[in-house]
Amino acid sequence: VSASDPGMLVREYATSERLERRRHDVTGWLRGEEAWSEALAAIAEARPSRVLDAGCGDGRLTREIAAPRVVGVDAAAAMVERARERGVDARLARIEELPFPDGAFDVVVCNWVLYHLPDVEAGVRELVRVLRPGGRFVGVYNRNGHMEELWTRVHAPYADGDDYGDLLARHFSRVEERDTDAYTLWQTRADLQEFLDAFVELHGPLEAPGEPYPFTVTRRNRVYVAETAA
Ligand SMILES: C[S@@+](CC[C@H](N)C(=O)[O-])C[C@H]1O[C@@H](n2cnc3c(N)ncnc32)[C@H](O)[C@@H]1O
């Protein structure tokens, strides 16, 4: 199933439970450079007054963003509800049709969402529209080899990363890539199985390897930091 399949997206995001269980620190232990911290640093550098988290999901990162005005949007009602429970000003909206005027934000964040858009060019155009001139885009995605130790062992072809460098270069005047490497350790097979079960809509059923435990994977992420012309 494609990552932008409408039926899959509706089923997957009908509840925030699987997304929340895929956070590596829920079933395992994280160490190293966390991509979220790098993203938060890239947001803070711009010293924004107005930030949009587009495809904010459960709002776990959104609520960490420090700015006078932070808004999240998501296409899934369950995500908007969960983000609101976390105190986020979250609204139900699709990235392709954002309910904001031109230039409404200093920073637009869009982590692990672009691959869900049927027309990613149109989505990025809309994100650029709501950014002010000289505004900043921040987006976390996976690089090739992300968690390959796990995907190899479960014979699943999910270690291919998403490369948005060329796409972003078509819409922004400057694009920077900040790569992070982190590690996740699962103590037991049951813990890793719980993590894999959270991918059932995305990847189908997967069985955790019998050994070795603790099981360690490398988390290879890329934080795209792009700017519109001033
Ligand atoms: C993998 S989750 C990432 C959530 C969050 N950004 C994070 O990093 O935890 C993808 C999110 O994008 C949302 N989404 C998918 N397509 C969307 C669209 N066209 N417009 C807005 N949100 C969308 C989903 O509902 C889901 O919450």
Cα–chain center distance at 98? 18
**What spacing in Å lies between the alpha carbon of 82 and ligand 1's midpoint?**
13
pTM of the model: 0.97
Cα–chain center distance at 174? 21
For the chain, the helix, strand and coil percentages under 3-state DSSP, each to the nearest 5:
35, 25, 40
Between the alpha carbon of residue 69 and those of residues 59, 107, 194, the distances in Å are 14, 11, 36
Contact predicate 21/176, CB 8 Å: no
pLDDT at 157: 85
pLDDT at 6: 94
Contact predicate 48/66, CB 8 Å: no
Both tokens assigned to 19: 């997304």
Whose C-alpha lies nearest to ligand 1, atom 25? 76
Both tokens assigned to 164: 């948005």
**What spacing in Å lies between the alpha carbon of 75 and ligand 1's midpoint?**
7
**What spacing in Å lies between the alpha carbon of 146 and ligand 1's midpoint?**
19
* pLDDT mean values, one per 10 residues, the chain (230 residues): 91 96 95 94 98 98 97 98 98 98 98 97 98 98 97 91 96 98 97 97 94 97 97
Top mutation candidate among 21, 81, 113 for ligand 1, by most atoms within 8 Å of CB: 113
pLDDT at 140: 98
